[in-house]
Amino acid sequence: MYHLTYIDQLREALEKLETFGLTEFIDINQEIRPGKQAIVNVKVILINNTILYIKAYINGMYKIEIVSYAFQYQEKNGRLIFRYDNAKHKPTLLSKEHKHLSDGSIIESPIPDIFELVDEIIENF
């Protein structure tokens, strides 16, 4: 099943944070649905009091397609460091896929590969 491959990749990427000794807590919840679909919710608490939230709705019918997603990296107090998502905005953005920055700006950005996301967190550490 394609969605399991993505979930396995997600686990492997998060293991990199563990291997570097950067995590205090990792919670991965997955709900496998009929029709080769899955919902994944992840919470990672890092040793520098930052938190990574990953939410993804995956359709794996023919290939892995991340239908909706939000990868949010924030401080413990809720202050945003960055967030990638494809949520609709009002007013409409030029690109559905985008990145929110800590200064409140939003830039066009494709969905990052999960390994790239982990590397970006390590770079921001």
Q: Rounded to an integer, what is the distance from CA 42 to the centroid of its chain? A: 8
Q: What is the pLDDT of residues 93-116, one digit of tens each?
A: 777 899 999 999 999 999 999 999
Strands (E), the chain: 23-33, 37-46, 50-59, 65-75, 80-85, 98-101, 106-108
Number of domains in the chain: 1
* Residues spanned by the domain of 25: 2-124
Q: What is the pLDDT of residues 47-84, one digit of tens each?
A: 999 999 999 999 877 778 899 999 999 999 999 999 99
